[in-house]
Amino acid sequence: MKAARLIISTVGALLLSQCSLPEFPLFSSRTEVVRRPMTIMPPFASQPVLYVWNGSGKPGPMSVNIDLSEQKAYLFKGGQNVGWTYVASGRSGFASPTGTFHIMEKIVDKRSNRYGMIVDRNGDVVNGNATAGVSRVPAGGRFVGAKMPYWMRITGYGVGLHAGAIPNPGSPASHGCIRLPYSMAETIFQNAPVGTRVTIMQ
């Protein structure tokens, strides 16, 4: 009887020891792997560099040369190139003038008196691409000129350089003015006094 109990105990111990081995786990667990098609996203297109400025602290008078074929302005101080910037000149039907001009007026917070939007009596925009004196203004509404920060007038008929959108670098987009990236418009404004020469070439 004792021998039988000893045999049973030994067999049980062996079974338990076997169950504790990794090859024979007491509780079998299984990890389900769900396989899905892998989507490979293309790398984000890098944003183009809109301008370069190396003119801080450089001596000499400022001048600006604008090449409409490239939609770029080249910046000079004392005759030395100190930077460049993309611009957006007048689109089809609103060509920017060419020739040699000089900055006649500078206003930090300028609004257009010709292009802008129409708002109703509640201030809601009813026409986001309006022309003053042409677009209909509802009763109680008004025309609001488009913002043209860092305005630098170069003609007597409303053309100047100012901060504005460059939606497609290298392509015209304005109503005739020379738009500049905001930071570069501010930089030129700070460095170009009234009288600064601006040359625009085709």
Render 36-57 in DSSP notation, one character per residue: -PPP-PPPPPPPPP-EEE--TT
Given 19, 102, 175, 177, the catalytic residue? 177
Across the chain, the runs of DSSP E, i.e. the strands, are 51-53, 62-67, 72-77, 80-86, 99-102, 105-119, 125-131, 142-153, 160-163, 178-180, 197-201
Given 19, 102, 162, 175, the catalytic residue? 162
Phi/psi for 10 (5° steps) reads -65, -45
Asked if 201 contacts 110 with a C-beta cutoff of 8 angstroms, the reply is: no
162 among known catalytic residues:
yes
Q: Cα torsion for 63, 76, 200, 105, to the nearest 10°?
A: -30
175 among known catalytic residues:
no
Query: Going by DSSP bridges, is the β-strand pair 62-67/80-86 parallel, antiparallel, or unpaired?
Result: unpaired
| Edge-first strand listing for the sheet containing 80-86 | 51-53, 80-86, 72-77, 62-67, 197-201, 99-102
Catalytic residues: 162, 177
